[in-house]
Structure 1
Amino acid sequence: MNGPFTAPALGHHILVDFWGADHLHDPRPAADVLRRAAQSAGATVLEVNLHDFGDRAGFTGVALLAESHISIHTWPEHGYAAIDIFMCGDCDPLLSLAPLRAYFQPESEQIKQLKRGLAPAVT
């Protein structure tokens, strides 16, 4: 895997905060965006499930992947989307960001990267 992950890890977890984002009300087009985000990272989509909270109150959803998941929860009243990308294998979760940015068009973002499944040091 390219990027900042050089130590062997079972999975790579990206936590993304989008602020000043668009398209936070309607989950229907977001299903395709989650699929494209997964495919961009080299992941296999098993299923996408989204829930609309109604009255333009946002949505939540998850793309179940053979390599783990991409999830999203939106707060339209704050222009905010919380996105969680966790992948294992040869996938690069950072490559999921381009389709997500293109669709949600955040004014700013915060990204945290975590290595998951690192074996403890043997002493």
Structure 2
Amino acid sequence: MSIKDINDTQTYFNTLSQQRSWPVGSAVTHRDRKDFFIRRDDYEFAGNHLIIDLFGAQILDSLDHMEEALREAVEAAGATLLHIHLHHFTPNGGISGVAVLAESHISVHTWPERQFAAFDVFMCGDAQPAKTLPVLERFFTPTGVDVKEFIRGRMPLDTAVTP
């Protein structure tokens, strides 16, 4: 891919972003790509995935509040925000959305009428998904929290496919 191709692609996506109000990150070339797999002892894996349930949670129907919470959670985890998209449902005011990250994503679904929020936090590389939890607790003040952690794409080092 030539520099002209990269510039043309970036111009296209910037124009599309302005038309649709989507932020756009920088164009990434093959030589810029990083392998975000995590190595530990005798294995490597794609990333950590937290499933977070908030019970008795508050302020689950405000798009501004949710966006601020997601931005702070991303920053706390040391991740790179590429885009946030949130959708507000009526009549109950629930929110579904995603923060797309260079290191993966944070997704959310809320049920204000049940005071319940479900977050999926999946991150690879040096990002630390567990650091999102205190931020989410501060923003939504739940009376109960349930967290499950999964290691995604775990494989022994001797069988890992390398580029």
Q: For residue 87 of structure 1, what is the amino acid of its counterpart? A: M
Q: Is the 1:26–1:56 Cα contact (8 Å) retained in structure 2?
A: no
Higher mean Cα deviation, 72-81 or 112-121?
Answer: 112-121
CA distance in structure 2 between the partners assigned to 1:8 and 1:21 by the alignment: 35
Q: Look at both structures and tell me which one has the larger radius of gyration over its CA atoms.
A: 2
1:37 and 2:88 aligned: no
Q: Relative CO higher for 1 or 2, CA cutoff 8 Å, sep ≥ 6?
A: 1
Structure 1 or 2: more helix by fraction: 2
Runs of 4+ displaced beyond 4 Å: none
- Give the match's secondary structure for 1:8: strand
User: Number of residue pairs matched?
Assistant: 118
**Is the strand fraction higher in 1 or 2?**
1
Listed as ranges, the gaps of 5+ residues in structure 1 are: none
What TM-score, normalized to structure 2?
0.68
Structure 2 letter corresponding to 1:36: E
Residue of structure 2 in register with 1:110 after alignment: 146
DSSP-derived class of the 1:31 partner? helix
2:155 corresponds to which residue?
119
Q: 2:120 aligns with which of 76, 84, 87?
A: 84
Counterpart of 2:106 in 1: which secondary structure? Answer: strand
Unaligned stretches of 5+ residues in structure 2:
1-39
* Counterpart selection for 2:85 from 24, 49, 62: 49
1:81-103 residue CA offsets vs partner (Å, 9 max, x unmatched): 00000000011100011111100
